[in-house]
Every structure is written in structure tokens, then in C-alpha cells.
Amino acid sequence: MKWLSIIIVSILTIQPLAAQEFKSFQTKQLCGPWKNVAVTLKEYNEDVLFTADGQQIDLQNKSYNSGMIFQVNQETGTWSLVSIYGDGTACVVATGNAFRPYSK
């Protein structure tokens, strides 16, 4: 009986925590043909730091695979994260400043 009580308390404690782990919100992304997006981003003199395979999920929970490009200007600290889809559409997922290399 003691173990059953521990299990029930654990489940009741963990479940609300799990529900709080993921939050969703709507965002607006600037999208267009990769050629046009690349020209706009070139104004910031950012170089590609790394690429990756990514995934975006729309409001209807449909998943879209994309290539991801993270580019930075290491002198000014600006950065951009761009997703590029198979049809050539590119979306600026996020931009920012104060880029700095991570160190432990």
C-alpha cells in the first residue's frame, strides 16, 4: 500500500509538470523565395555558421521538414535562423543580436 501511495503521488506531481514543459504560441515569419531572403540577409554581412535538418509545425499540427541555416556576423553579433523548404521557400524563423560563442 505504501508503494501505491508513492506511485499515485508521483503521478499527480509529475503530470502537471509535464503539461507545463511545452508551450505553444503563434508567430509570424517572413517568407519568400530563398534568393530574395538571402539578398535581404546579406545586408547584415552574416556568414553561415552551421546548417542542419529541421522541422516546423503549423497551427494544425502538420509537420514540415526543412533545411536550417544559422548565420552570424561575428563582428557585430547579429544572427539569423532561416528554414528553407524543398520548394525553395525560405522563412526567417528568428533574428537577434549579441551572438557570442558558447563556452563551458
13 in a structural domain: no
Residue type, 27: T
Number of domains in the chain: 1
pLDDT at site 9: 46
68 in a structural domain: yes
pLDDT at site 14: 53
7 in a structural domain: no
Q: Which residues contact 71 (CB under 8 A, 6 or more apart)?
A: 41, 46, 47, 48, 49, 79, 80, 82
pLDDT at site 19: 53
| Domain housing 63 | 25-104
89 in a structural domain: yes
Q: Look at phi and psi of residue 87 and say left if phi exceeds 0, alpha if psi is from -120 to 50, else beta.
A: alpha
92 in a structural domain: yes
Half-sphere exposure of 32 (CA within 13 A, CB side): 8
103 in a structural domain: yes
86 in a structural domain: yes
Q: Are 56 and 83 in contact (CB under 8 A)?
A: yes
Q: Please give the Cα distance from 79 to 71 (Å, whole number).
A: 6
Binned average pLDDT, 10 residues per bin, the chain of 104 residues: 47 53 74 91 91 88 92 93 94 89 82
74 in a structural domain: yes
pLDDT at site 40: 87
Q: Please give the Cα distance from 65 to 32 (Å, whole number).
A: 17
Which pTM was predicted? 0.72
